[in-house]
Amino acid sequence: MSSDNGVNAALLESLTHSLQRYGMRSVLFQQNMARIIGLSHTDLKSAEILNETGPITAGELSKITGLSTGSVTALINRLEKSGYVKRERDHMDGRRVMIAPISERQEQIKSHYRSLSMATKDLCSAYSEQELIFINQFVEDITKIMDKENDKLMSER
């Protein structure tokens, strides 16, 4: 059984199923990590988003997360109270308030991921450089697909 481009359909189905299983376990891991750190899952993910993006406005965070502006305000208040972010004036436009991650707290979050990071690096070290380039490209491509699918879901609100 193969698809139009000659790829084994059963293999494609298996890969899709494996990616769904991985995604589910990733969510469970993130929920457990949030509990260990003492944050809600949404707060942890938002802190990590801010670490990835750098300072952004509450509106931008609302757009990325799909949360209402009221929910984002409450989220920012919680993250600020727990020391993960700070509000600061935009240097280019003093009227705008930016939500900035606090690097020391971000490092604390990262420290909780060291075991996972080390295990992942150990696994990846078994692959050749060419295989790692391919895997990295695949992960980048599937991340773009996930971003597009998230955008579609959020536009349905």
Task: Summarize pLDDT for 81-138 with one digit per residue, the tens.
Answer: 999 999 999 888 888 899 999 999 888 888 989 999 999 999 999 999 999 999 999 9
Residue 60: pLDDT band with limits 50, 70, 90: very high
Q: Are 76 and 61 in contact (CB under 8 A)?
A: yes
Q: Are 74 and 62 a contacting pair, CB within 8 Å?
A: no
Please say whether the beta carbons of 64 and 51 come within 8 A.
Answer: no
Q: How far is CA 108 from the centre of its chain?
A: 17
Determine the pLDDT at residue 41.
93
What is the C-alpha separation between 9 and 7, in angstroms, rounded?
6
Question: For 9-126, which CATH class?
Answer: mainly alpha
Domains of the chain: which residue ranges?
Answer: 9-126
* Confidence bin at 3 (pLDDT 50/70/90): low
Whether pLDDT at 149 is above 60 = yes
For 156, the token pair is 């349905």
Question: Mean pLDDT over residues 17-24, rounded?
Answer: 95
At position 139, the amino acid (one-letter code) is V
